[in-house]
Every structure is written in C-alpha cells, then in structure tokens.
Structure 1
Amino acid sequence: MHTRLLIAVAAMAFATCAMAAPPTTLVLQRGGTTTPTTSALGGAPITSLELDPAMVGGDADSGDDFGPQPIVNRSVAHGHGGGHGMGNGKRAKSHPELLGGFDGLNFHDQRYANGGNQFSVEPPDQGLCTGNGFIMESVNDVLAIYDNAGNKLVGPVDLNTFYGYSAAINRGTGAYGPSITDPSCYYDAGTQRWFQIVLTLDRIGTTSALAGTNHLDIAVSQTSNPTGAWNIYHLPVQNNGTQGTPDHGCADGFCLGDYPHIGADANAIFLTTNEFSLFGPGFYGAQIYVISKKALASGAASPNVVLFNGGDPSITAPAFAVIPAISSGGQFAGAHGGTEYLLSSDAVFYDSGTSSTVWLWSVSNTQAIDSAPTAVTLNYTPLTVQQYAVPTSLAHQKPGSTPLLDCFATPSCAALLGYPSIVYPGPRDLAVNDSRMEQVSFANGKVWGTLDTDVLLSDGSHGSGINYFVINPNSGGLFVNGTLALPDANLTYGAAAVTQSGRGVIAFTVVGVNDYPSAGYASFDAKIGAGDVNIAMTGAGPWDGFTGIPYLGGGRPRWGDYGAASADGNTIWIASEYIAQTCTLAQYLTAPLFQCGGTRGALGNWATRISTIQL
C-alpha cells in the first residue's frame, strides 16, 4: 500500500530544526597504492579454523555479540513492533524493463580466493557501484569488476590484498592479517573517480587478538578506469584520543566505527558509521565524516576531513545509521554553499519498536571543506511519516535440500567437517533486517530512502516489508510515503537508486514459504510510490549457511546487512543476495569435497545477482 502526501506535513518540524556543534578537524593520511589483481581460487575444502575469532557471532542488526573478543552489542534495538498493515502488494506477471543480469560474487569466491587464505564469512553485505562502462561489486571480503555486458574483467580479488595487507589467515603459518568488513563503493561522475571503503580492525601482531585500533580504509581510483591503479587512505575511527582522533569515552578504551556507508555532494565525500564500544558495552552515536572530494580525487597527501559526533550532547536527535545520499550523474544540491542530505530512523530506540518519525539531516556549506573546513555545518529535523516497526521474526523459506544441515545430522559427515554431530531443530529460517535506514539517494531535487518494517502476512504471521519515502528537502513535505509488501513472502534489505529524471528502483530479497531466497525489485516513483514486485532471478534452493548453527557461532541465522543499487544514466543496476545453487548431500560429498561442483563452500551457499533495468 502507499499513501500520497503532496503537501508539506512537517512545517512545524522544520520550525524546530536544530544545528549541531561545530565539527572536529581530523587528519587523513594517504598510504600506498594498489591495483586490483585476480587471485587464484584454491586451498583445502575445510580447515580447523574456518571462522575469524574476532567476528564469530557478530551481528550488526540483531544485538548479538561478537565472539570472546571483542564483546560488543552492535544494535540499539529496544523492542520489536507488531505488524501495522497487511502485505497486499502484487507480483508482476512480466518484466519488460529487465534488460538482463548475471551472477556476481558468491560464498565460494570469498572462501577460496587468495589460494584459500580466507575465512568462511556470512553475510556478504553488498557494495555495488557503476559508471563509465564498468560495474564494481564488493562483498565480505572480495571484489570483482565487470563490463556492462557482465564480462568479468578482474576478480575475485580478496580485500586484504587489495588494501595492501597480509592475507586474512595464512593457512601455512597460521598468521592473521587485519580483519576487514562492511564494504561499500561509489562512482563519482564529476571527478570520474571510484571510491571504495571498508572497516579494518587491526590485530596484535599476527595473532587473532584485536589491537583496538580500527580505521576506515578508503581506496580512490587514479583514473575513471577501476581496473587501474588506486590510492589508499586511512582514517582512524577508534576515537579514544590516539592517532589524532577525539576521545569519545567508549567503554574499555576503544570505539568501533561500525556499519560504514558512503555518500557525496559536489564538494565532499561523506562517510558515516555507528559508533559502539569495541571491547565493552554501549552505543555512542552515529558519526559523520566529511572529506574533501577534490583532494581525494587528485591524490593529495592529506585531504581535509571533519567529524560531526552524533553522540555529542548538543545533538538531540537519536543518531543511528545516519545514511548519506548518493547522487547519479553529478546531480547535487547547490543551496547553502553545497548541501548533502542524510536520513535516519528511530524505531530501534523505543520499547514499542515502532515510530512515525524519520530524521532528515543536512550538511551545508560543503564548499568550505577545502579552505575553512570547520565552517561546514550540520542540521537535522524530524519528519512525520507512516508508522513503521522493527520486524518481529525470522523469515521462513521454501523447504529444500540443505546438505550442510544434513551433514551435521550424519555422524560420519560431521566428522569430516570437524564437528560433533547435531540435528538442527525446526525449519531453517533466516534473519531479516531491523528498521534502520537503508540506501539513500538525491535525485530530481528530492531525497529518496527505504527501510525494512514489520508487516502482517495473510496467514497471520509477521513478516518484513519495505517502507519508502520521497522527501522535499526544502519544506520537509512528503511526495509519497508507503509500504511495499507481499501477502505471502518477506521483502528485506531494500536499496533504492534513482535516475536524474526521478525514476527509481528498489532492490531487495524475496523469501517466503513458497520462495527460495530470490533477487527482486520494484519501480519507485515520486507520484505513485512503489510498483509491483518483480523477480529478477528466482532462487534455486534454500539458504544453507553456518550462522545460527551450534559449534559455528550460534546466534541468529545471518542473511545480510544491506543491499545496493546504482543509477547510470537511464539505467539502474541492482545487486541483491539470493541463492544461485542447490545440491544434495551426496553431491556435497563428491569431489571437490563440500563444494557441489564449485557452486558453494563447506559452510555456506550465499550468492549475489546483478541485474540491469531500463527506465
């Protein structure tokens, strides 16, 4: 369903618009250079050390902790809301706007890249960006570059090697490299540069223990061709007074720059994080980093950068997952000396798990970032929207072959995995998102955003749908606001991209009792809202990954943290997690062992689908 709201509903809210304290000046230093180079796939099918000890059980959207070190709750969700509406969307019968697509990176690529000196990792997350005839996809923890026909030019490239680090885990010596997570990327048409970011956690030497220092690594292409050379920058985000960072007083001495996302306006690159204590409990507010885009693009030694601390007492808005807008084709807001818009939601802060407010943030006077960086200003204001809610339950999926679970239930097979035999109880459900804001776009003078919300399905159970917004940033009015949902399936991890003319697409995963995890999308318009649900590629079988299984981290059965979509002219590229393969236990045990003909790994089978849509 959708509701058209064509007049300003937030005039009073704009009257209470607040300005934050001045930003803090930081130091960003250029490191080395890199060129993406395809790494060999190989290594043993399974080892005695498959999971990064620093990340076991880590869950950016559930409240589960990391493993023994660090111990950190990376969610602030207080409660879950009940379904506020019935899923009554429709499935499209044909897909004439779908030009084609291809399978992107998958679990097999991740685990066996760099000769197998990688960990088993899920969820993949999704960092997709497009432009100048190229498509770049990065996930946890590999990247690949394609041409517009879907031909792979480079990849898979493990992210440790791309950023100039030693392997994630050296299978020969047992030495650990830095722990990398949460990739994201952006192509800037104005500078004709590619920007790729990750969060990197340092180790104590080559041991598994974390040092506490962590940083956003920023790779910037030296030309418009992403297959060429890149410059690397390092931005410390432990915010404890070391390495030029401010001291935010995080428990046990180190903050964590979790869940980094990237956006841009004409003058600056914006990186946002959720700041938690790394080794102790506590959330300390979203962080907004503003970096000179001109300096990054030119390869300057130390580009100007300033930080707005969302946990500062002067900021009265609940700052969590404040997502900066991405613009296509160099279309930016020029008012007030250059302005970048950001969106966030706040249902996670309430015991009810519901809210009727989203927050519109604006960073203005961005033209000052090169000459007087502390003159950049931050404002924020609440907007009244249709009620949304933190989803209450896991998503059911269509039953099918799950050889990993079957292997655990078979003692002789479980012994090959190196674990005791166990029968997994109940159906294999998978996690949906909380209600944090997902991808944000600025196009046609409007701000476009999505978040996941709880909905009521036709069988009376709770499910996940996608709440969407098209906002007039000048008045706070809503052009359109509604919820996209199906009566018999979950839609989750929605990500919207919009062309300069204002035509958009929301990408997501479709999963339910009649659907294997599938790549889906819907049109997105400022007048009529979201269109019918289309299936870009139907899932081939059920998700069969390691998270949620005892002995392998337990916690929630992880599915994803975010998807991605990217506008390139009148074409929109979307990337969603789905399941591209299925196999039986007998096939799982056929050489190459546990890989089902090279379509999966021993402990997981996630895949991604990249699709192109003509608007």
Structure 2
Amino acid sequence: MARRHIASILSTLALLGGAVIASPVVANSGGPAVDTSPEVSEITSLGPSAPLRQLARASQRATLPSNPRAVINRPIPQDRIDAVKNGGTWVPPVVPTDTGPAPGADMPAIDGSFEGLSNIAGYNPPDTVGDVGPNHYVQMTNVYMQIWNKSGTSLLGPIPNNTIWSGVGDCGTTNNGDPIVLHDQFADRWLVSQFSVSGAAYHECIAVSQTADPTGAWHRYQATFTDFPDYPKFGVWPDGYYVTYNMFDSDFAGAKTCALDRSKMLVGAPTTQVCFDRAEEWSQLPSDADGSTPPPAGSPNYILSEHWSANDKLTMYKFHVDWTTPGNSTYTGPIYLPVSPYTGACWLGTERGRCVPQPGTTQRLESLGGRTMFRLAYRNFGDHESLVTNHTVAMDGNVGLTSQTGIGWYEIRQPNAGTPQVYQDGVTADPDNSTFRWMGSIAMDKQGNTALGYSTSNATAGPNSFPSIRYIGRKVWDPMDQMAQAESVIMTGGGVQSSVDTTYSGRWGDYSAMNVDPVDDCTFWYTNEYVQSNNTGNAWRTRIANFKFPGCDGTKPSAPLSISGTPGNGSVGVSFAAATTVPDLPVWKYTVTASPGGATCSTTPGSDPDPLKCTVAGLTNGQAYTFTVKARNDAGDSVASAPSAPVTPVGPPGAPQSASATPGNTEASVVWSPPANDGGVAITKYTVTSAPGGASCTTAGTGCTVPGLTNGQAYTFSVVATNALGDGPPSASTAAVTPQSAAQTATVKTPKKIKSKGKTVLLKKSVKTNAGQKAKAKVTVKPKGKKYAKVTISKKGKVTIKTTGKKTLKVTLKLSAPATDTFTSYSFTKKWKVKK
C-alpha cells in the first residue's frame, strides 16, 4: 500500500466504468465459462542480490516521519456497497451451539511467543504478515522486515523491506509496503513482495531466496502495471506463484489474478506472468499450499472471494497456467459455492468498515468486512483436498455501526471436482454480543486440526477489552461447523488506538497470518497486531506466537486386546481390555465395529461407568458377527484390534408373513409363510387367533383351522411364531372372512293352476338360507296391472296371488339370499290361463 493520506476515497468512487476490458470467454458446455485469452507479459528481472545480511549492514534506518502516515488500501467501491445494500434482506449468520469435544475444550497453550516488529516508520496499518521455515521465522510489516530463529532470537533486522531490491529499479528506491512473505516448502525457499509507487509507474516487487537461508542472497523481479495493484495476495503452487490484486485507476478497475513462472524464479531466470482480469470481482485470494504433499499433478490454482450480488455464496475460479504455451492458459468460472447466509460487517461504516469499538473512546477500528481474508490455505490429505478461509460478518445481520462482528469460516473439499463441496460452514462469535472479532487468518495441520487467529476488542472497559490477539480452533473429530476448542489469548492489549487525525487512527490490519511449520506440519505460527498502551501516534506492536494440538505428531494408542461378545436380542455386548498409551495422551474414546454390516458403538473413558464394555445394536438375529475395537487419543485412532470369535445374536422370531384365511362352516382355515428371521433359534410353534372372539389354533406347521366360529360373523386372523426365547410379533391380519353352512337349494311346490276367483298360494312360507337367514321372494306378473292379478307376501313369507280378470298370465317367482350368504336361488316361471 503506497504511503499517502486517505481522506474518504469511498465517497468519491463512482459506479464501475469501462476502464477494464474483460477477456473473451467461451462457453463450457454443462459447466462454468472458460476464459481462454490471458494477458501474457514479461516480468523485469532485477538480477541477484548480495546476501541480505550484507545489504542490511549497508542500509540505514529510515527517518521517522514528522506526521504518522496511512497506507493505501482502497475501500470497497461504492457500486459494490450499493449492490449489496439493495440486494435483499440482511440476515444474521447461523451460529452453531458449542457442545465441545469429549476430551476437553481448551485450545493448546502457547509454546513460544515473542515480540515482532513495531511501528518504526510511522505507517498505519501494519499489514502484519509472516511465515515459518525449517529454521527461521520471517515477518514483514509496513515497511520493515525482520528475521528470527524459531526460538525468537533476532538474526537480522529490523530493516526496510526494500533492502532486498537495493540499487535496482523503482523497487530499490521506493518502500511502499503491502508486503507478503511466504515459505515455499516444496523448494525450501522464501518469497517476499511489496508494491512500489513511483510517479506514473506501478510495480509489484517480488524476490525469491536463492537458498533456504532468508538472510542470504535473493533473485529479484519487478512486475509493472498501468493501474495501481492494490492489496496483493500470493499463494505457493507447484506450477507457479499466484497473486491477486484489486486494480485501481481513478476508480476501481476490477480484480486481476496472475501466475508467475515459479520454476524460472527459483533459478533467477527471466520469467513471464500470465494474468486474467475480472471487472466484476473484488479481493480475491489465490490458494496457498500447506504440507509436504503437493496438489495432484495438473491441479489448477483456486481463486476465491465473496460473492457480490448475493449473501449466500462464495465465488471460485480455477486458474490453469500453461508455461509451454502461455496463451493456452485458462481461467474457469465463476463457480458458485452455497454457504449459510451472511452479512458483511459494517457495510454502512466509512472507509473499510470502521465499526469496531474500543473502550473509553469513540474512535472505531476498521473491520475490513466484504472480503475473504488471507490466506486461502490448501492441503492435500491424500483421500481428500481441503481449502479453508474466513471473513468478517455482522452477527445480527445489521449493516450499521453497532452490529457485533464475528468470523465466518469455511472448509471447502474436493475443489477440483465438478461441484466443490462446502464441507464446513461455521461462525466464531461471542454469545454475550459485546466482544468484536475480526481480522482473521486460518489454516489446518496435517491431522486436519484447524486454528483461527484474529483481533478482538470491546467497548466495555475491562482488562480484556482493549484490541488484543486471540485464537480458537477445532480438532479434526470435533462436531462439524464448530470451533469447539475454547478461545485462548495470545496477547492482551493494554490501550486503545486513537488520534485527532481520523485518516489513519481507525486503520487496523489490513491482514494477519496463520501458517504451519513445515518441519512437523503440526505447529501453527500466528502473527497479528495489538496496542500495548493508549496512544495517539499509531504505536502499534505485533506479536508472533506458536502452538500445536498435542496429538498432531504424538503417539497413537495400541490396539485393545481380548475382544469377546455376548449375544443378545438383535445385539451383542462386547467387552475388551484397555489399550496402552503415553501418559500425556490418554485414550478418550473406544469404538467397536461389527462385521459384516459395520454397525458400531462407542464409549468415553471418564464419563461412561464401564468404558471397556459396549453394546452393538441393530444386528440381525441368527447372523454371525465378529467385532474389532479401536482406541482414540489426541494423536488419532489405533489400528483395529484382532477380531473377536464369531458371535450370533438371538431373540424371538419375526412376524409370519402372507397370512390368509378361507371360511368354512363355523370355522376358518388359515395359512402363512414363516418369518424372514427365526431369531437364530428354531421355531417351535405357531398360534393363530381370531378377532373378534379370540378363538385359536396351534401348529408346528404353516397352516391350521380355527374352530368354534359363528356362521355369518366376519373374522380376521393373526399369527404369532414362537421359539425358545419367546413369542415374536403378530403377523399382519388376514382379510375378513365369514363362516357359513354349505349352500342349499330351495324347494318350492308349484301350484298346478291359478284360481280365477280367490287366492292361489305360490309359496307357503319363507325359505331359509345356509346362514339361517330368510330368502327374499319376488313375484312378477305379465301382463302388469292390478286388473289382472294382485300378489301378497306375508311376514312369514307366504306368497299368494289373486286374479282379477280373465287372462293368460305369466307368473315368475324368484328367491334370493343376502349378499353375504351362499344360496342357490330358486325361481320358476309358468303361464296359466286363468280359469273360471
């Protein structure tokens, strides 16, 4: 960040104009667009330096300015603020409930801590950054750097950052800041950078150490731009050093991402940069690889930022550089990653979100909401790849100055998949809504433990209220989306930062750095700024601290022994002998796994009454299982124990299947299929029961007849199987059936003639059905009409016919039973000539 005063750039920025011409893109069928037209340019090689320790002796400490000076970090463009403000409803983030892990919830203690650089040159903010190598820790700020051994003994410095470029180019004559330092663990080299503002020329000054010793000689380079390359952020990748910028002319001119030819820079050869511009993006971060395992061959670098038109996603690009034919390089995206809705901190604040309170003063500090914060840390775990990043969010979803700030953090897995996975999505905040957290940096160790460092401040006066440095984290097996290890303090501030000149007194950050030691790939190193005492001259100080989760490179427990099982009903109780472990890494979990099927149970020493016994449920009776046990301490899981002898869970049988019934005369025959599971023991009998009534039958087979039923009554039936361990559940009920006597044929004496006068009896009385009910009689006469005949049916079922005139009649008598009965209906039809 070039050294000049900033009043209120935010108020003068206009809507984004046409200053940047976006590169052509081509459609990528079924996926994001692919930009195939990079900007390729040479980087000026400034040649090798003398050893830095020699240059340092020749350099002189810069004269302190008479007035403190602010360092450029252009604020969020007004059009971006307007777009977000008008984009919809503000929402608070979802804060997971912290349940804490089983072994305790304390972050590991600080192993080492020492003072870093202070404000030697009077610039604000410090832009604190650092990294660790096998033997050194290198820190840079605006505008000085210093090198220590890992015990905190200074080996070189403080010296001006531009000492490395002494005597060559504008980079050697200007010292403008916005530094970055990274250790390239794949080559055991160091990369440093800062920008240079010299008249009309803008440069990014870059240097790569010639050896593993940062106090030695460096290869020096100078990249030149027509626009101002603000807020540069670098990442180490096998095929290049990647860097992102916010570009400015008179207004914001878009985001730029460049790849630098790492292989050439490591040997000091002339090199090239390949760049892509994105007018619609802001404050992108390149992925920076941690660990000894590089990304898979050919992996692109991942470029990540907040999304500007919605508050529920992040934006990713994939940058693939082709050094053989640089013009074939591609920039694929945007790829949108859905996350929990959030609101960027302090959108209505001035400058860079100036809303963080301090005790005893109205001076607020800048949150730098609206961007993902350095670094975008990448790690290849072998079975998966992860990226972690963070940003500052408003905890109540309010865009004003009073909204408490917290830190939203994310783990993104399988970034090169068709659809990268947001694997974790959490927020670190204070439940009392008073402490503000911001200026975060996050990383993961080789075990998958995560550490997040940040600044804190509180408006309420108290011993822990001043701007301070804290850290929090999660173990790899902690609950998802939670920093479950309790927050701890790296450095407690002793005062506030304030001044009558608000141009610089609210500046804070503009970033911090969480890195991982390449030696053990476990120890986290963090650096950030704090305020030692009340000051009006921007007397910031920095602190460097390291810590590690105790199990990261510890000894895992031995496998448990003597595994045995006792069968139960759908379960097996498993017992085992304790694992052995080192004293400072006690076992805090045992996990039992069944085979086949993989059903598990677990115990927790210290909270379970008998942690060496565990019941695995959900097993199939009659199926033989073996069981293995693993022990876990903070170093991880033991190997699995030797399997137990086979154990077969047993219990009552299951329910019989496919039961059906056939009615008879005062009985019903019921059949079924055996249960799918006999409980591991032979079935000895089946019992069939009727409803209603409870009549039953018992058999060893799969069918029996239930007697004693009432004809005409509807019944359903269920079946229960029984073995030596008891009764199983009843089957599903059969469909309803109704017992009845055999079908019968009615016998009716047909009259020989119908009287012409008086009544003729067609049926003397009712005919009963096989179920004991009366058959229904129906008589039809043709021709119709009472003038020919009149039919009468008495209550007892007597059917008579009386003729009323001379006519040949066709008379039909039908008998029918109710629908529930079986009855062969009777009918006859006869023609009679009515006689006188």
**TM-score normalised to the size of structure 2?**
0.53
Aligned mate of 2:371, from 436, 443, 447: 436
Aligned mate of 2:340, from 386, 391, 394: 386
- What is the CA-CA distance between 1:187 and the residue it aligns to? 0.7
Say which SS state the counterpart of residue 570 (structure 1) adopts: coil
Aligned mate of 1:427, from 333, 338, 362: 362
- Contact 2:426–2:481 (Cα < 8 Å) also in 1: no
- Contact 2:93–2:341 (Cα < 8 Å) also in 1: no
* Rounded Cα–Cα distance in structure 2 between residues aligned with 1:150 and 1:558: 28
Aligned mate of 2:327, from 370, 374, 380: 374
Pair 1:293–1:276, CA change in 2 (3 A): same
Supply the AA of the counterpart residue of 1:540: G
- What is the CA-CA distance between 1:524 and the residue it aligns to? 4.3
**1:94-173 aligned within 5 A:** 94-107=106-119, 110-111=120-121, 120-164=122-166
Pair 1:121–1:287, CA change in 2 (3 A): same
Say which SS state the counterpart of residue 427 (structure 1) adopts: strand
- Unaligned regions of 5+ residues in structure 2, if any? 1-27, 350-354, 550-836
2:195 corresponds in structure 1 to 199
Say which SS state the counterpart of residue 317 (structure 2) adopts: strand
Aligned mate of 1:36, from 19, 30, 52: 52
- Contact 1:329–1:500 (Cα < 8 Å) also in 2: yes
- Contact 1:518–1:535 (Cα < 8 Å) also in 2: no
Aligned mate of 1:538, from 480, 491, 494: 491
* Rounded Cα–Cα distance in structure 2 between residues aligned with 1:307 and 1:500: 32
* Rounded Cα–Cα distance in structure 1 between residues aligned with 2:168 and 2:496: 31
Supply the AA of the counterpart residue of 2:275: L
- Between the two proteins, the alignment pairs up a number of residues equal to 479
* Rounded Cα–Cα distance in structure 1 between residues aligned with 2:440 and 2:182: 18
- What is the CA-CA distance between 1:492 and the residue it aligns to? 0.6
- Contact 2:404–2:436 (Cα < 8 Å) also in 1: yes
- Unaligned regions of 5+ residues in structure 1, if any? 1-12, 64-72, 112-119, 169-175, 203-210, 239-254, 312-317, 400-425, 584-599
1:70 corresponds in structure 2 to none
- What is the CA-CA distance between 1:42 and the residue it aligns to? 7.0
* Rounded Cα–Cα distance in structure 2 between residues aligned with 1:135 and 1:359: 33
2:305 corresponds in structure 1 to 344
Supply the AA of the counterpart residue of 2:327: T
Say which SS state the counterpart of residue 182 (structure 1) adopts: coil
- What is the CA-CA distance between 1:539 and the residue it aligns to? 2.6
* Rounded Cα–Cα distance in structure 1 between residues aligned with 2:29 and 2:146: 43
- What is the CA-CA distance between 1:534 and the residue it aligns to? 2.5
Say which SS state the counterpart of residue 327 (structure 2) adopts: helix
Alignment of 1:20 with 2:2, yes or no, is: no
Pair 1:501–1:372, CA change in 2 (3 A): farther
1:84 corresponds in structure 2 to 92
* Rounded Cα–Cα distance in structure 1 between residues aligned with 2:157 and 2:169: 16
* Rounded Cα–Cα distance in structure 1 between residues aligned with 2:469 and 2:212: 29
1:309 corresponds in structure 2 to 277
Alignment of 1:462 with 2:412, yes or no, is: no
- Contact 1:522–1:532 (Cα < 8 Å) also in 2: yes
2:428 corresponds in structure 1 to 484
- What is the CA-CA distance between 1:137 and the residue it aligns to? 0.5
1:561 corresponds in structure 2 to 510
Aligned mate of 2:184, from 185, 188, 199: 188
Supply the AA of the counterpart residue of 1:498: M
Alignment of 1:520 with 2:492, yes or no, is: no
- What is the CA-CA distance between 1:447 and the residue it aligns to? 1.4
- Contact 2:112–2:151 (Cα < 8 Å) also in 1: no
* Rounded Cα–Cα distance in structure 1 between residues aligned with 2:135 and 2:144: 21
1:66 corresponds in structure 2 to none
1:495 corresponds in structure 2 to 441
Pair 1:144–1:545, CA change in 2 (3 A): farther
- Contact 1:14–1:382 (Cα < 8 Å) also in 2: no
Pair 1:226–1:20, CA change in 2 (3 A): same
Say which SS state the counterpart of residue 582 (structure 1) adopts: coil
Pair 1:14–1:82, CA change in 2 (3 A): farther
* Rounded Cα–Cα distance in structure 1 between residues aligned with 2:29 and 2:254: 22
- Contact 1:341–1:442 (Cα < 8 Å) also in 2: no
- What is the CA-CA distance between 1:507 and the residue it aligns to? 1.1
Pair 1:42–1:235, CA change in 2 (3 A): closer
- Contact 1:200–1:217 (Cα < 8 Å) also in 2: yes
Higher Cα radius of gyration: 2
Measured on the aligned residues, the alpha-carbon RMSD in Å equals 3.1
* Rounded Cα–Cα distance in structure 2 between residues aligned with 1:501 and 1:237: 41
* Rounded Cα–Cα distance in structure 2 between residues aligned with 1:511 and 1:218: 34
Alignment of 1:607 with 2:541, yes or no, is: yes
Supply the AA of the counterpart residue of 2:545: S
Deviating above 6 A after TM superposition, structure 1's stretches of 4 or more consecutive aligned residues are 39-46, 86-93
* Rounded Cα–Cα distance in structure 1 between residues aligned with 2:275 and 2:144: 29
* Rounded Cα–Cα distance in structure 2 between residues aligned with 1:155 and 1:545: 28
Alignment of 1:227 with 2:215, yes or no, is: yes
- What is the CA-CA distance between 1:34 and the residue it aligns to? 4.7
* Rounded Cα–Cα distance in structure 1 between residues aligned with 2:474 and 2:43: 38
- What is the CA-CA distance between 1:99 and the residue it aligns to? 1.4
Aligned mate of 2:311, from 355, 360, 381: 355
Alignment of 1:60 with 2:32, yes or no, is: no
Alignment of 1:215 with 2:223, yes or no, is: no
* Rounded Cα–Cα distance in structure 1 between residues aligned with 2:504 and 2:112: 37
Supply the AA of the counterpart residue of 2:174: P
Give CA-to-partner distance per residue, 1:439-495, whole Å, 9 cap, x none: 20111311111111111399x941211111111212321111121111321111111
2:281 corresponds in structure 1 to 319
- Contact 1:14–1:476 (Cα < 8 Å) also in 2: no
* Rounded Cα–Cα distance in structure 1 between residues aligned with 2:457 and 2:51: 37
Supply the AA of the counterpart residue of 2:74: A
- What is the CA-CA distance between 1:256 and the residue it aligns to? 0.9
- Contact 1:578–1:608 (Cα < 8 Å) also in 2: yes
* Rounded Cα–Cα distance in structure 1 between residues aligned with 2:408 and 2:146: 31
Say which SS state the counterpart of residue 124 (structure 2) adopts: coil
Pair 1:182–1:428, CA change in 2 (3 A): same
* Rounded Cα–Cα distance in structure 1 between residues aligned with 2:175 and 2:145: 16
Q: Whose relative contact order is higher, 1 or 2, with alpha carbons under 8 Å and at least 6 apart?
A: 1
Say which SS state the counterpart of residue 160 (structure 1) adopts: helix
Alignment of 1:293 with 2:262, yes or no, is: yes
- What is the CA-CA distance between 1:330 and the residue it aligns to? 4.0
- What is the CA-CA distance between 1:428 and the residue it aligns to? 2.6
Alignment of 1:256 with 2:228, yes or no, is: yes
- What is the CA-CA distance between 1:342 and the residue it aligns to? 1.9
Pair 1:509–1:84, CA change in 2 (3 A): same
1:115 corresponds in structure 2 to none
Pair 1:330–1:309, CA change in 2 (3 A): farther
Larger helix proportion, structure 1 or 2?
A: 1
